[in-house]
Structure formats: C-alpha cells, structure tokens
C-alpha cells in the first residue's frame, strides 16, 4: 500500500511524514529535495507541480495528502500565491486520482469559502470546491486556525503576523474558544491521517476545534 504526500517540507507536511507508520510507504512529492523528511517508510520523488498530471507518472496509490501552501508575502504576488494554493493543489489531486487514489486529504484554512471577500480564504475555498468536483470516494478538508510550530527549523522565513498572533493568543490558553485557538501542526497532521484512513464516504470538513481532540496524542 502506497500513499502520496505533497508539501512535506511545511509545518503540517513534515509532521504528517514524521507520524507515518504505514502500512506501506509514503511517497513525498518534492519541488526541491533539500530539507525533506527521511525515514524507513518514506520515499521521495522530485516533481514539477506545473507539469502534473504528466510525467513522471505516480505509482499506484490508495490515499493522498496535500499540505501545500504559502502566503502572499512569501509568494510575492496574488498570482504566485494562487499558483501554489490552487493550481498546484489541483494538479496534485488530478495526478493522485490518475494513480488510483480514492481517499484524499487537504490542509485548507479556517474561513475557506469560494465566495469570501478576502483573497486568501476565497482561493482556499475555490481549491476545496475544485477538489469536491473530482469525485473522490472520500475527501477530507482540514481547516485549522493559526498553526503553531517552529518554522525556523524548516528553514522558512519568519511570518511576523503569525508570530504576533501566537504571542497574544498562546498565554490565554483555553480562554480562547477552540475554534480560534492556535493549533499545533502535529494535531492537524494526526487528524488528517486518522480521518483519511477512516475513509468516510463523501466530503468531511475537520474544524479546528474538532482537530484539537481528534489530533491529540
């Protein structure tokens, strides 16, 4: 049994790879091999997401996880952001489907809505809607609140807004409603793994509040 992972070098993707115990191997699709997780059940394949679902063809797989994502500041423009959070996500999903994947999990975002006024949640919502149209047997959409984790360990640039929000929200702890409370990336990864493996038919949305319990160790 093989599973596919896109976005293995991000906060959630790295945690998902770290928690992978099989059965079978997890194939990491990488734009750049540097900094990728490694382990006995992890394999890697360098790909150009803009070229998917073309060659290289992906191996036959049963499930796939998409943790791709960036920010407008990091990408440099709205167009570059959309190229990752919509175009690459959809290209990976189509390639996974061509490889036989019937269970697919996506890390989206709190507030994702294709009709949202804001550009970020609108693109996230449009990506969700596009995936829903592909017809996976089981589609899991994880919508975390602010992700908690050390991006410096990943070699990623600091996100000042994220750091400020964490500094304000973290000391308040459980005074902040679970739906809005910062959530550890590991909780999101475990939630996605468990929900995709469960394979409920149709589309399932994991709220941030739900992932605080579903993703606990």
Give phi and psi for 214, each to the nearest 5: -65, -30
Comparing CA positions, the residue from 184, 115, 88 lying closest to residue 144 is 184
Task: Compute the distance between CA of residue 189 and CA of residue 107 in angstroms, rounded to an integer.
Answer: 9
What is the span of the domain harbouring residue 21? 2-214
Query: pTM of the prediction?
Result: 0.89
Kindly report the CATH number assigned to the domain that includes residue 143: 3.40.50.720
% of the chain at pLDDT higher than 70 = 85
pLDDT at residue 175 greater than cutoff 70: no
Domain count, the chain: 1
Question: Is the Cβ–Cβ distance between 65 and 80 less than 8 Å?
Answer: no
Residues making up the chain, counted from first to last: 217
- pLDDT: is 169 or 141 the higher one? 141
For 115-152, letters b (16+ CB in 10 Å) and e give eeeeebbbbbbbbbebbeeeebebbbbbbbbbbbbebe
pLDDT at residue 132 greater than cutoff 90: yes
Question: Is the Cβ–Cβ distance between 124 and 72 less than 8 Å?
Answer: no
What is the pLDDT of the chain when averaged over all its residues?
Answer: 89
Neighbours of 4 (CB within 10 A): 24
pLDDT, tens digit (0-9, with 9 covering 90-100), for 3-29: 999 999 999 999 999 999 988 999 999
pLDDT, tens digit (0-9, with 9 covering 90-100), for 192-210: 999 999 999 999 999 999 9
């Amino acid at each position: 049994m093989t599973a596919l992972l896109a976005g293995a070098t991000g906060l959630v993707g790295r945690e998902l790879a770290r928690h992978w115990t099989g059965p079978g191997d997890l194939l990491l699709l990488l734009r750049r091999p540097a900094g990728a997780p490694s382990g006995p059940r992890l394999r890697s394949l360098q790909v150009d997401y803009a070229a998917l679902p073309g060659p290289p063809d992906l191996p036959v797989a049963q499930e796939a996880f998409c943790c791709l994502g960036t920010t407008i500041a990091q990408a440099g423009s709205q167009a570059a952001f959309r190229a990752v959070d919509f175009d690459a996500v959809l290209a990976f999903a189509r390639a996974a489907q061509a490889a036989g994947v019937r269970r697919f999990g996506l890390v989206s975002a709190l507030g994702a809505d294709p009709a949202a006024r804001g550009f970020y949640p609108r693109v996230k919502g449009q990506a969700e809607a596009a995936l829903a149209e592909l017809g996976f047997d089981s589609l899991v959409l994880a919508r975390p609140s602010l992700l908690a984790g050390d991006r410096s360990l990943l070699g990623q640039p600091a996100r000042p807004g994220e750091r400020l929000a964490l500094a304000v929200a973290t000391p308040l702890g459980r005074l902040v409603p679970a739906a809005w409370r910062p959530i550890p990336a590991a909780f999101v990864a475990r939630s996605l793994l468990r929900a995709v493996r469960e394979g409920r038919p149709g589309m399932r949305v994991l709220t941030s509040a739900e992932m605080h319990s579903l993703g606990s160790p």
